[in-house]
Amino acid sequence: MNKYELLWQKILEELESIYDPETFNDLFRPLKSIYLFHNNHIYILVENEFTKNRINQIHIKKINELAKRFHKDELVDFIFITNTKDLPSELQEKSDYSVNTNYEMTGLNANYTFPTFVVGKSNNYAFSVSMIVADQLGTAHNPLYIFGDVGLGKTHLMQAIGNKAIENNINSKVLYVKSDIFVEEYYAHFKNQMMDEFNEKYRSVDVLLIDDIQMLSGATQTQLEFFKLFEILHSRNKQIVITSDKPASELKKIMDRLTSRFQWGLSVDIKIPDAQHRLDILKKKLAAEFDPNTYQDVPIDALEYIASVFSTNIRELEGALNRAMTYTKIHKLKPSVKNFKIALESLVNTRIKSDQLNENNYDKIQSVVADFYSIKVEDMIGKKRDYKSTLPRHIAMYLIKYLYDVPYKTIGELFGNRDHSSVLSACSKIENELESDPILKKAIEDITKKLGVEK
């Protein structure tokens, strides 16, 4: 590993200790691709424009600050790209500067494998079935439908199938995609009359891994497109793996023809891990990611404390461990229950207060936007479709997404239970129009000032 790759790993470790687990896992954990230093720039490959834009708009300043802190001997800046074609020509010409782009285009995280998955009572059946599917693609349990609450390992297990498929056959064409990204790609290709390219990408795969299928809720056109894709892949005995937060029969605003097909194969659920399972997860993370000497110094009761507090979400559980270990290392403290409590105090308090705090922030945005346009909040979040109501509604949706990076589904719930695709369309519309509409740009600048935040 060269010094620039080491720098990026240090930055990732620091980001994991700073950001909440959901933000880190969604934006930063998949970023494993590294291109060597060139003209004071380090190039990182990301999977889509949405991720690139979120990083550049919200997080790039922090990343470059960390680069200066960890790498003082020369100035470096990070540039995030979605395609190797965006690299300078000098790098494109030198194969030793690039990673295995075939693998990178799968969207897989190389760390999500079966050996790194911690098995317990809550997920043993799902794990066993997934291993069978990985070795018998397209013939055993097709589609495989994995469901369970957020942060329990569905994505890890799904991607483990993809990584195992490639391990078994290096030529396997595997594609992992989150459903909201699938929706974005479909709309973008449809709008630009590039459906041939879209179809080539998705219909040529051997294994399709589609995460959080509930995000297709209400997106009728995208559902029709996914239905056609499902039919084509299934008829060719190509493996389909789907994850969701609920059983297929309980999906809302998903057409019946899709939910019935989701149940053609096998559905397996992942439950909340029990205390012993959570402890096993923490032990495995310690052994895998921390120095052996440090790992051995962590008393079991300190791990039990974390396992008792962060009991419903594996992402939060692992994030809490990383935060506690980083805190004790920086402050040169011994790992202990006492020191872990100090390290996690703000995180524990945040978990208790975050829902109420965020709701207050969202309410404030709705109130300020409505006041700016001299309309009632009720009209803005209601069913009216006149321009006087829809423009403020779209702006408020955009600001909640932009300022707090809230899931589209959650934003939809704040605006009269609108579906995910409506919010996505509204946010994209505002983002696109900002580039060419100075009046809109000035309005949003004025609103953000009233909110007391910098855009």
**Range 364-373 average pLDDT:** 91
Residues contacting 118, CB < 8 A, separation 6+? 277, 280, 281, 284
Do the strands 144-148 and 266-270 form a parallel or antiparallel pair, or are they unpaired? Answer: parallel
State the amino acid at position 148 in one-letter form.
G
247 part of a folded domain: yes
Does residue 36 register a pLDDT over 60? no
**Cβ neighbours around 186 below 10 Å, total:** 23
Highest-confidence segment of 42-51, 289-298, 310-319, 388-397: 388-397
**Cβ neighbours around 65 below 10 Å, total:** 12
**Range 77-91 average pLDDT:** 76
Q: Are 255 and 231 members of one domain? A: yes
The alpha carbon dihedral of 83, 88, 94, 96 has a sign of negative
pLDDT at site 243: 96
Q: Are 308 and 401 members of one domain? A: no
Q: Are 357 and 306 members of one domain? A: no
What digits encode the pLDDT tens for the residues 377-412?
Answer: 998 988 888 888 899 999 999 998 888 777 787 888
* Both tokens assigned to 450: 């009233």
pLDDT at site 253: 87
What digits encode the pLDDT tens for the residues 413-451?
Answer: 889 888 887 888 888 889 888 888 889 999 998 898 888
49 part of a folded domain: yes
Q: Are 310 and 292 members of one domain? A: yes
Does residue 96 register a pLDDT over 50? no
pLDDT at site 95: 38
131 part of a folded domain: yes
What digits encode the pLDDT tens for the residues 151-169?
Answer: 889 999 999 999 899 888 8
111 part of a folded domain: no
Count of structural domains within the chain: 4
**Residue 244 belongs to a domain with what CATH number?**
3.40.50.300
106 part of a folded domain: no
Q: How confident is the model at residue 98 (pLDDT cuts 50, 70, 90)?
A: very low
Q: How confident is the model at residue 111 (pLDDT cuts 50, 70, 90)?
A: confident
Q: Are 134 and 257 members of one domain? A: yes
Q: Does residue 312 or residue 185 have the better pLDDT?
A: 185
Rounded Cα–Cα distance for residues 136 and 344 (Å) = 44
**Cβ neighbours around 315 below 10 Å, total:** 21
Q: How confident is the model at residue 101 (pLDDT cuts 50, 70, 90)?
A: very low
**Residue 443 belongs to a domain with what CATH number?**
1.10.1750.10
What letter does residue 454 receive in the DSSP assignment?
-
Which of 240, 270, 300 is the C-terminal boundary of a domain? 270
Three-class DSSP category at 311: coil
Does residue 94 register a pLDDT over 50? no
Residue 443, sorted as left (phi over 0), alpha (psi -120 to 50) or beta, turns out to be alpha
118 part of a folded domain: no
360 part of a folded domain: yes
Does residue 291 register a pLDDT over 60? yes
Rounded Cα–Cα distance for residues 152 and 430 (Å) = 34
Which of 49, 64, 99 is the C-terminal boundary of a domain? 99
Q: Are 286 and 262 members of one domain? A: no
Q: Are 285 and 396 members of one domain? A: no
Tell which residue, 402, 360, 397, 359, has the closest CA to residue 380.
397
Q: Are 290 and 156 members of one domain? A: no
pLDDT at site 234: 95
Q: What is the mean pLDDT of the chain?
A: 84
Q: Are 262 and 135 members of one domain? A: yes
* Both tokens assigned to 58: 């919200």
**Range 181-196 average pLDDT:** 88
107 part of a folded domain: no
Strand stretches in 18-101, DSSP E: 34-38, 41-45, 77-81
- Least confident among 180-194, 278-292, 331-345: 278-292
pLDDT at site 110: 79
Q: Does residue 275 or residue 406 have the better pLDDT?
A: 275
Could you tell me if 18 and 61 are in contact, meaning their C-beta atoms sit under 8 angstroms apart?
no
Q: How confident is the model at residue 350 (pLDDT cuts 50, 70, 90)?
A: low
Which of 228, 255, 270 is the C-terminal boundary of a domain? 270
- The parent domain of residue 304 ranges over 275-335
Tokens 């979400």 locate to 313
What distance lies between CA 40 and its chain's CA centroid? 29
Q: Are 86 and 206 members of one domain? A: no
What digits encode the pLDDT tens for the residues 118-150?
Answer: 899 889 999 999 999 999 999 889 999 999 988
Q: Are 144 and 36 members of one domain? A: no
Q: What are phi and psi of 282, to 5 degrees?
A: -65, -40
This prediction has a pTM of 0.59
**Residue 55 belongs to a domain with what CATH number?**
3.30.300.180
Q: Are 364 and 380 members of one domain? A: yes
